[in-house]
Amino acid sequence: MKTEIRMKKWFMPAAASCLIALSAAACSNNQPSVNNAAHNLPMVETQTATPEPTKPPESIVFPTHSAPETETSEIIADLPRNETLYFGGRQQGSVKSWNPYSGNDNNAMAFVSNSSARLTVFETLYMYNPLDGAMHPLLASGPPEWNDGRTELTVRINPDAKWNDGAAVTAEDVAYTYASHLKYETGPGLRFKDYIETIEAADGAVVLKAKLTPDGAAVNPYQLEDYICGQYVVQKNWTRTLEARTSTPDAFKQDKGWDAVSSGPYKRLYDNEQEVVLVRDDDYWGVSLWGKPPAPKYLAHIIYADDASVRQAFINGSIDVNQQFLPDIQNLWLNNGLPVSAWLEEAPYGLCTVMPSAWFNLRNYGLDQVAVRKAIAMAADYDAINRDAMAGQSPTFIQSPRSLMNPTAAERGLYDQNAVKDLQWTGNDVAGAKKLLDDAGVVDTNGDGNREYNGRELKYKAFCPSGWSYWQAAIAIVAEAGEKIGVNIEAEFPPWDTYRTVIADRTQTEYDIFMYAGDGAGPAYPWARARERLGSAAAGIDDNWAGNFGGYLNPRADEIITAIPRETDPARLKELYTEAVEIYLTDVPSFTLMYRPEFFYAVNETVWIGFPKGAVGQSVPPSGCTDGYGIAALYNLKLAPRIPLK
């Protein structure tokens, strides 16, 4: 089946090129979508379950970018449907960069660097799997090895691993990557510099040396494990090339990186204001690891104008893997009979690892009182949040009682649920909340229906970003809870650029209650969630994204957070986590509103089948077929018995 690409090239001065690129990014949501729909075309029987690796047809021209500052290209492709896996709900606007050091790339098909990094183009040493909490080797060989004091972590490099230019992936690449992050103060450099002293190459292995406390212990061993699962390895030679053509740290990070050498199963074919397309590297070294190449030859993402367009394309079968919240997802197969499925056949439909929560600004009057905070949390109607905000796509707090842990088995067993049973609340307990306030002397003294604390009426604003519909529904329900118990709470929805100051600005007192979610799962969790919600380390940071947004201070909580990463005895670890949960449920510096997936994962099996499902014994997580160990899904896909032809 032939793939046709029409391509235009032109050259212009660098300044003009930048202006056009900025204009394109700003207007990208208004660009028409490429019509790749195949659902109305004739159906044919397929002869093979998995397409055989083939070389690109002669008509495909792979763009080269020897002069990325001056070259712009426009490509419109007609990709063969039986070789292309289409994604939706990820790429908003055009790609800004292919530079793995950038941090401002807007490149959702290639770069998501967290505990389960996106592994389509660049790769990490290990792949994290939230189903079993394990780190599976990728560029690494065998498990990581701690020394006795847990201050040094040794990782051996997979001898089969190669860059897409044919050179071997080496320990020097790993070490030079981290040194570059530190030198140029990239996001990962700033994030890990307080935990990792150095990464050194030695005899086909790397040794991650932890930052030490005055008593000689690692500051946090979990962060070393998080690094090897979440941070890309970049080729040393290419990094030196990048250094040679840039003169400042900003230029190093802002370089577009069109020529970046990578090690993953796919590489950039082209991107523009309409779509992003990756093509399989048929010389990919990982065939020795997986036993075969990934099934799709192309991974593509159309840049749609809005969520409604994404939804319709998914229903039509033009999108295979959709990372979009679909409130009525079960109706697509129950009522409409579509070949659509989610991770689970019944609610909550997804693997819920994220805990969007309402945070209290403890610097503001009244909210420094536990009774006020807990009363609001007790009165909130979580069943209504689940119904109206999450459309039933969240476990209830009866099914998964609130704690610092997400609902997965890997986390729930880390604390004693019975020990904190008496501290639980399941919501809509208006009578209990009123009694709690009455007993604390927070009462209505002037008869206007609103309670006062120390003579001042309790009046608050609750915020979340505008356009985040299910968050807005949740915050509105929190505001309604306040009304039921005599606490005036007004919901407001500022734009994201304004809202982010609620979280990041430590001096902000205008905002009283606000939402934030954080990451879902990884080697450092649930410890990282405990630090985020109870730890005081971030209390003095001006531009804060590390947690403790409300200014909660508790010396015992800090002691527990310090002790957990160093503890190796499972029984003692469980005691520490249980005590942390007890503090959290007692003091209520924030409260979880819902559980939700880190990935909204839905698949249309019109063209491809074999996607991960939440069956017993399933080992591949619903991580969008691309992230962490979820990349294994691409090797299990097969073509449907009957698929549409282009």
Task: Supply the pLDDT for residue 33.
Answer: 28
| CA separation for the pair 300, 3 (Å, rounded) | 14
Least trusted range by pLDDT, from 31-40, 287-296, 610-619? 31-40
| CA separation for the pair 206, 401 (Å, rounded) | 41
Task: Supply the pLDDT for residue 15.
Answer: 29
- Helix/strand/coil for 456: strand
* pLDDT over 90 percentage in the chain: 69
Longest dimension (CA), the chain: 82
Pick the CATH number of 352-597 from 3.90.550.10, 3.40.630.40, 3.10.20.70, 3.10.105.10: 3.10.105.10
Q: At residue 51, does pLDDT exceed 60? A: no
Task: Supply the pLDDT for residue 79.
Answer: 94
| CA separation for the pair 163, 445 (Å, rounded) | 72
Task: Supply the pLDDT for residue 114.
Answer: 80
Task: Supply the pLDDT for residue 82.
Answer: 94
- Per residue in 411-434, pLDDT (tens digit) is 989 999 999 999 999 999 999 999
| CA separation for the pair 78, 52 (Å, rounded) | 19
State the pLDDT confidence band at 479, using cuts at 50, 70 and 90: very high
Encoded tokens for 279: 């093509």
| CA separation for the pair 529, 480 (Å, rounded) | 28
Length of the chain in terms of residues written = 646
Task: Supply the pLDDT for residue 142.
Answer: 96
Q: Residue 55's CB: how many other CB atoms inside 10 A?
A: 7
If you average pLDDT over residues 461-478, what whole number do you get? 91
Least trusted range by pLDDT, from 200-214, 458-472, 515-529? 515-529
Task: Supply the pLDDT for residue 81.
Answer: 94
Encoded tokens for 503: 């979280």
Task: Supply the pLDDT for residue 339.
Answer: 96
State the pLDDT confidence band at 504, using cuts at 50, 70 and 90: low
- Helix/strand/coil for 126: strand
If you average pLDDT over residues 456-485, what whole number do you get? 93
DSSP for residue 422: G
* Nearby residues of 148 by Cβ (< 8 Å), 6 or more positions away: none
Q: At residue 500, does pLDDT exceed 90? A: no
Q: Residue 132's CB: how many other CB atoms inside 10 A?
A: 14
DSSP for residue 168: B
Pick the CATH number of 101-264 from 3.90.76.10, 3.40.350.10, 3.40.50.620, 3.40.50.720: 3.90.76.10
- List residues bridging with 136 in a β-sheet: 127
| CA separation for the pair 423, 400 (Å, rounded) | 14
Task: Supply the pLDDT for residue 296.
Answer: 98
Superfamily of domain 1-89+266-346+600-646: Periplasmic binding protein-like II (3.40.190.10)
Task: Supply the pLDDT for residue 132.
Answer: 87
- Per residue in 574-621, pLDDT (tens digit) is 999 999 999 999 999 999 999 988 888 999 999 999 999 998 778 999
Residue with the larger pLDDT of the pair 410 and 573: 573
| CA separation for the pair 70, 395 (Å, rounded) | 52
State the pLDDT confidence band at 52, using cuts at 50, 70 and 90: very low
Same fold, 1-89+266-346+600-646 and 352-597: no
| CA separation for the pair 20, 197 (Å, rounded) | 42
Task: Supply the pLDDT for residue 43.
Answer: 28
Encoded tokens for 20: 């056009």
> DSSP of 605-620, one letter per residue?
TTTEE------TT--S
- Helix/strand/coil for 640: coil
DSSP for residue 29: G
pTM exceeds 0.75, yes or no: yes
| CA separation for the pair 185, 111 (Å, rounded) | 18
How many angstroms from the chain centroid is the CA of residue 518? 9
3-state secondary structure 45-102: ECCCCCCCCCCCCCCCCCCCCCCCCCEEEEEEEECCHHHEEEEECCCCCCCCCCCCCC
Task: Supply the pLDDT for residue 355.
Answer: 94
State the pLDDT confidence band at 458, using cuts at 50, 70 and 90: very high
State the pLDDT confidence band at 22, using cuts at 50, 70 and 90: very low
State the pLDDT confidence band at 307, using cuts at 50, 70 and 90: confident
Q: For residue 644, what are the CA distances in angstroms to 298, 477, 482, 564, 600?
A: 16, 45, 54, 54, 26
Q: At residue 55, does pLDDT exceed 80? A: no
* Domain parsing of the chain, residue ranges: 1-89+266-346+600-646, 101-264, 352-597
Contact 584, 421 (CB under 8 A): no
State the pLDDT confidence band at 327, using cuts at 50, 70 and 90: confident
| CA separation for the pair 231, 125 (Å, rounded) | 8
Residue type, 606: T
Task: Supply the pLDDT for residue 76.
Answer: 55
State the pLDDT confidence band at 328, using cuts at 50, 70 and 90: confident
- Per residue in 352-390, pLDDT (tens digit) is 989 999 999 998 999 999 999 999 999 999 999 999 889
* Nearby residues of 453 by Cβ (< 8 Å), 6 or more positions away: 365, 366, 369, 372, 442
Q: At residue 437, does pLDDT exceed 90? A: yes
Task: Supply the pLDDT for residue 74.
Answer: 54
Least trusted range by pLDDT, from 4-13, 89-98, 468-477, 570-579? 4-13
